[in-house]
């Protein structure tokens, strides 16, 4: 974590202290840097001026020695520079670059070549890493006699810099300590009320006690406004909490009442289911049974039309019985508990395929293409019923085809859901009626063309919805249809 990130996680008192220290320290560092730079520049300039004066004096005193070719006199003039402890060497050069006279503070020091003074200039200076050199032209009556070069060390400059750094560091440390002391003193006035307000807010959040109030402290107008707003917010929250508690109690009472009504309705629905299952089936069985008896008893006296009438009665009663069974299955779908576990879709599709093929489809030419399917979490019995309905639907609507093709596969598997599809090359349907497809008793084809009660796809939708998934279909008339469903990925 960066320094700024750690600072964000500290208290407001610490943040104010750090802000004061950073601002004060930055200002002091800038001032100290500017002062040090100014002092260094001033000292360099004064050093150059001092050496320039010494070079002028030496050049004036050595004119006669150069005119009369008296090196010893020039040597004596340069030897007077030993009074300046910072001068390390001085040399007088003739116009052809020869050393005429020289002075060295320490023996064994290096000699330097004759300086090159540009035309039109009387003096030049040059700073090195550890010394400064000033060279001046020696002229007499407009004629150049040679040049003088004086070098001085920078020990005084380095020592001055060290002293300046030490003084500035001491001043900076004292200033930071003073800023810290002032910040500590002022933060009680600035951050104290804010810290107290934060502690009160933490206590209110933890204890849910909205009756407490913050005390108005400090003379800051913004702080008083903040405390007044906080107290007003606590008052409003307390009122809302009481209102919510009252509404919650009323909702709980209504939920209890609605639960009791729902239990009563479920019992009535179960009684109705039992009545449908027994009382309505018995008359249908009687109708079918007596129709068969009439046909057997009067078989020789009935013409073709009479036998057709009896067959119509039998078929209608049989369809009515199937419709009652499907309605009972549909009504029980929401009441049946979900026994979720890991389900292999490969095994489930294989068993469902065997079941639908066993009901009169073995004599058809059907081309199956079943891909590998992923495992899912769900109720195996209900998911099997959904797959059976989809495969039965595909078999039913591919009946007019000489060679039926049914594909079962998995769509794009994402981190949220698993998609499974059943595709056929049957008669298909018009997509403008797709919204009716998964409704009860909604049929897109005539019952004389394709048998069925119109409840199978409604069962599929209810089963998948109970598992938290969705169903959809896509088709083109006379070009087959694709039915897809998704199941959420269990994390």
CB contact burial 248-273 (16+ within 10 A = b; e otherwise): eeeeeeeeeeeeeeeeeeeeeeeeeb
User: Which CATH number, 3.90.650.10, 1.10.40.50, 3.30.450.20, 2.60.40.790, labels domain 4-179?
Assistant: 3.30.450.20
Query: Which has the higher per-residue pLDDT, 251 or 224?
Result: 251
Residue 2 has pLDDT above 70, yes or no: no
Residue ranges covered by each domain of the chain: 4-179, 206-335, 338-488
Measured distance CA(320)–CA(364) in Å, rounded = 27
Beta strands in 357-468 (DSSP E): 366-370, 375-378, 404-410, 417-424
- Give Cβ neighbours of residue 350 (< 8 Å, ≥ 6 apart): 370
User: Which range, 85-89, 156-160, 252-256, 362-366, has the best average confidence (pLDDT)?
Assistant: 252-256
Residue 160 has pLDDT above 80, yes or no: no
Residue 387 has pLDDT above 80, yes or no: yes
Measured distance CA(42)–CA(153) in Å, rounded = 16
- Looking at every residue in the chain, the average pLDDT score rounds to 76
CB atoms within 10 A of CB 154: 19
Give 232-275 pLDDT, tens digit per residue.
787 787 788 788 888 888 888 888 888 888 777 766 666 666 66
Measured distance CA(124)–CA(476) in Å, rounded = 98
Instruction: Indicate the range of 11-15, 16-20, 25-29, 41-45 predicted with least confidence.
Output: 11-15
Sheet (strand 87-94) strand order = 99-104, 87-94, 143-153, 131-140, 123-127
* Token duo for residue 99: 């050393």
Question: Sorting pLDDT into bands at 50, 70 and 90, what band is 105?
Answer: confident
- Give Cβ neighbours of residue 123 (< 8 Å, ≥ 6 apart): 52, 55, 117, 134, 135, 136, 137
Q: What number does CATH give the domain 338-488? A: 3.30.565.10
Measured distance CA(444)–CA(399) in Å, rounded = 16
Residue 219 has pLDDT above 60, yes or no: no
Query: Which has the higher per-residue pLDDT, 218 or 290?
Result: 290
* Token duo for residue 60: 């004036």
User: Are 419 and 484 within 8 A, CB to CB?
Assistant: yes
Report residue 299: phi and psi, to 5°.
Answer: -60, -40
Q: What is the per-residue pLDDT for 408? A: 92
Q: What is the per-residue pLDDT for 185? A: 65
Give 463: exposed, middle or buried? Use CB within 10 Å, 0-12, 13-18, 19+: buried
Q: What is the per-residue pLDDT for 114? A: 73
Q: Count of alpha carbons within 13 Å of 344, Cβ hemisphere only?
A: 5
């Amino acid at each position: 974590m960066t320094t700024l990130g750690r600072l964000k996680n500290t208290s407001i008192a610490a943040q104010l202290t750090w802000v004061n220290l950073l601002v004060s320290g930055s200002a002091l560092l800038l001032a100290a840097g500017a002062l040090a730079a100014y002092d260094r520049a001033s000292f360099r300039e004064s050093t150059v001026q001092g050496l320039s004066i010494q070079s002028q004096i030496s050049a004036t005193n050595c004119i006669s020695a150069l005119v009369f070719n008296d090196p010893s006199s020039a040597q004596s003039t340069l030897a007077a520079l030993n009074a300046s402890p910072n001068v390390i060497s001085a040399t007088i050069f003739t116009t052809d670059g020869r050393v005429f006279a020289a002075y060295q503070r320490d023996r064994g020091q290096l000699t330097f070549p004759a300086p090159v003074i540009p035309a039109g200039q009387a003096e030049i200076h040059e700073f090195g890493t550890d010394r400064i050199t000033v060279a001046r032209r020696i002229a007499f009556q407009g004629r150049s006699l040679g040049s003088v070069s004086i070098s001085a060390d920078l020990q005084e400059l380095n020592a001055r810099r060290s002293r300046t750094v030490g003084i500035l560091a001491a001043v900076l440390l004292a200033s930071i300590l003073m800023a810290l002391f002032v910040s500590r003193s002022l933060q009680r006035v600035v951050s104290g009320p804010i810290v107290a307000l934060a502690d009160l807010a933490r206590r209110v959040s933890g204890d849910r006690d909205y009756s407490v109030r913050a005390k108005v402290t400090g003379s800051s107008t913004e702080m008083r406004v903040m405390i007044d707003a906080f107290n007003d917010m606590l008052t409003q929250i307390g009122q809302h909490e009481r209102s919510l508690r009252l509404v919650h109690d009323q909702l709980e009472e209504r939920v209890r009442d609605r639960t009791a009504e729902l239990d009563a309705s479920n019992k009535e629905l179960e009684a109705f289911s039992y009545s449908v299952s027994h009382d309505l089936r018995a008359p249908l069985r009687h109708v079918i049974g007596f129709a068969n008896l009439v046909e057997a008893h009067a078989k020789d006296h009935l013409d073709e039309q009479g036998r057709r009438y009896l067959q119509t009665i039998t078929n209608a009663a049989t369809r009515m019985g199937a419709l009652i069974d499907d309605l009972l299955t549909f009504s029980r779908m929401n009441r049946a508990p979900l026994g979720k576990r890991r389900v292999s879709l490969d095994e489930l599709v294989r068993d469902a395929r065997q079941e639908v093929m066993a009901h009169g489809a073995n004599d058809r030419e059907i081309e199956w293409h079943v891909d590998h399917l992923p495992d899912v979490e769900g109720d195996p019995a209900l998911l099997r019923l959904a797959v059976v309905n989809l495969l039965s639907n595909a078999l039913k609507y591919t009946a007019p085809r000489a060679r039926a093709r049914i594909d079962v596969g998995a769509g794009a598997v994402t981190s949220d859901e698993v998609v499974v599809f059943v595709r056929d090359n049957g008669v298909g349907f018009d997509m403008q009626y797709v919204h009716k497809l998964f409704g009860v008793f909604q049929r897109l084809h005539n019952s004389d063309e394709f048998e069925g009660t119109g409840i199978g796809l409604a069962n599929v939708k209810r089963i998948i919805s109970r598992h938290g998934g969705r169903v959809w279909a896509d088709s083109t008339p006379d070009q087959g249809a694709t039915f897809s469903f998704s199941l959420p990925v269990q994390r």
